[in-house]
Copies of this chain bind each other. A is one copy, B any other.
Amino acid sequence: MARGINKVILIGNLGGDPETRYLPNGNAVTNLTLATSDSWRDKQTGQMQERTEWHRVTFFGKIAEIAGQYLRKGSKIYIEGRLQTREWEKDGVKRYTTEVIVDIGGTMQMLDSRGDNDGASRAPVSRPQSQPQQQPQSQPQQQQRPAPSVQHDAQPAPDYDSFDDDIPF
A contacts, CB < 8 Å to B: 1-13, 19, 21, 23-25, 27, 29, 31, 33, 35-40, 43, 49, 51, 53-56, 58, 60-61, 76, 78, 82-86, 88, 90, 93, 95-98, 100-101, 103-107, 109, 111-113, 116, 147-164, 167-169
Contact = CB atoms under 8 A, between A and B. Distances in A.
Contacts of A5: 9-12, 36, 78, 107, 109
Interface of A is mostly: strand
A164 B21 CA distance: 11
19 contacts: A1-B150, A2-B107, A2-B149, A4-B10, A5-B78, A7-B9, A9-B9, A11-B109, A23-B163, A40-B155, A40-B156, A49-B157, A53-B84, A95-B95, A97-B169, A104-B154, A106-B154, A112-B113, A151-B155
